[in-house]
Amino acid sequence: MIGWRRAAVPTVIWRNTLLLALSQALVGVGMQMVPTLGALVVQFLLGSVALAGIGTSIVGLTRTLAAYPFGQIADRYGRKPGLLLGLALGLVGTCLIGLAVLARSFPLVLLGMLVFGLGVGAAQQLRVAAADMYPPARRAEGLGYVLTGALVGALGGPLLVSLAQTLAVPLGLTPLALAWLLVPLVILPGMGLVSLVRPDPREIAADLSRYYPDYQPVVASGPAPALRLRTVLADPPKRAAFVASFVAQGTMAMVMALTALVLDHHGHPLPALSLSVAIHVVGMFGFSLPIGRLADRWGRRSVLLLGAFLSAAGALLVPATGDYWPITLGTFLVGLGWSCVSIAATAIIADTTNAYERGRVQGLNDTLASVANVVLPLAVGPLVAWTGLLALGWMGLLLTVPSLVLAWRLREPRPGRYTPVVAPSC
């Protein structure tokens, strides 16, 4: 059918994709600072680990609150202004944190974390910008290119910390402060790369047929009215995407919150924990491109189902044995399952929304996923304390059920096109 062949990608789209992928890589370096250094900063300033997780909590909360408003900005003014504003906030936040550590001011650190979290929430619109520029037949592949940059960023975080440790003594600064003050070295080039993207991805999405002559629009373009969660969830493809994202994000948060406990419980040292987390990150981002291509070839529904199965299998495997490699394989599968769901769900949202509402719908999805990121790890803790570590696996399996049901019921005759489910007649 015309419009569903593997369309050639224009040079301007390849150029924009490369710029966004490189920006994602650079921004990803800065995002690693909170999980890497947040607890150490708290211990350095307070002399206690009682509030070690407060930085992660603040960034997670502000990311939840920022996702939809920044989606509104991206829909109204374009993806570039929304991304540049978010990166600017991230830049201010990192400088505040670094200066706060130098001044030994804990309240200023909290303020910096708050501002930085707003920037992290805005950076999620990079995925929307990637999806904007491709027709359904190659949309998930485009997402895969940009998300692969996140792997480079995740692995680049330790390099920035090592540089801070090397330069701290000659400069007479504490490494914890210098690491944050070096983050602008990656954020500023990231902002420069985003500024070079043109035309704005939202404008490309609004007129895809200009770049892909065989493309036949499925969703009408033009400004959309105010969105309501109930209205969005009434659409079966979006509902499946939202639920799958909630489950995948929540399962990953539960598993990673307790992986350290599982490994320590079985006597594995800290370096082994660090390696396990690194392998998990490879699962999250290392296979983004082949997963995107599978979603374009097999369909979003198939990749959603695959992601749900992988997440459930990983969650069951982590607490099932005391051996290091099965536990690590479990964390890898959870990350890989999350990657499948993230790419397929983002593609579904792009398939079923127009350029002027896509940012807000993706923002709603990110908000709900962030809620799962906060709530489900808190819920599984008491359950594990009461019944044992195996409760983690069973909870991960049970959470997957609604995601599997909704994905299974999707009707997707061709990748990116959906038909309504017809109720059986009485």
Amino acid 203: pLDDT:
94
3-state secondary structure of 425: coil
Distance, in Å, from the CA atom of 187 to the CA atom of 182, rounded to the nearest integer, reads 9
255 in Cβ contact with 376 (< 8 Å): no
3-state secondary structure of 51: coil
Amino acid 271: pLDDT:
59
Q: Position of tokens 């969660």?
A: 229
pLDDT digits (tens, 9 = 90+) for 307-337: 999 999 999 998 888 788 998 899 999 999 9
**CA atoms in the 13 A half-sphere facing the CB of 402:** 13
Instruction: Tell me if domain 1-203 and domain 224-413 are identical in fold.
Output: yes
Out of 3.90.1150.10, 1.10.3720.10, 1.10.260.40, 1.20.1250.20, the CATH code matching 224-413 is 1.20.1250.20
Amino acid 288: pLDDT:
95
Distance, in Å, from the CA atom of 60 to the CA atom of 82, rounded to the nearest integer, reads 19
Amino acid 423: pLDDT:
43
Helix, strand and coil percent figures for the chain, each rounded to 5: 80, 0, 20
Both tokens assigned to 420: 């309504």
pTM of the model: 0.87
Distance, in Å, from the CA atom of 64 to the CA atom of 367, rounded to the nearest integer, reads 5
Domain 1-203 fold is Growth Hormone; Chain: A; (1.20.1250)
pLDDT digits (tens, 9 = 90+) for 226-238: 677 788 889 999 9
CB atoms within 10 A of CB 420: 9
255 in Cβ contact with 272 (< 8 Å): no
**Stretches in the chain below the pLDDT threshold 70:** 1-7, 35-36, 49-50, 52-53, 219-226, 260-261, 264, 270-274, 421-426
Domain locations along the chain: 1-203, 224-413
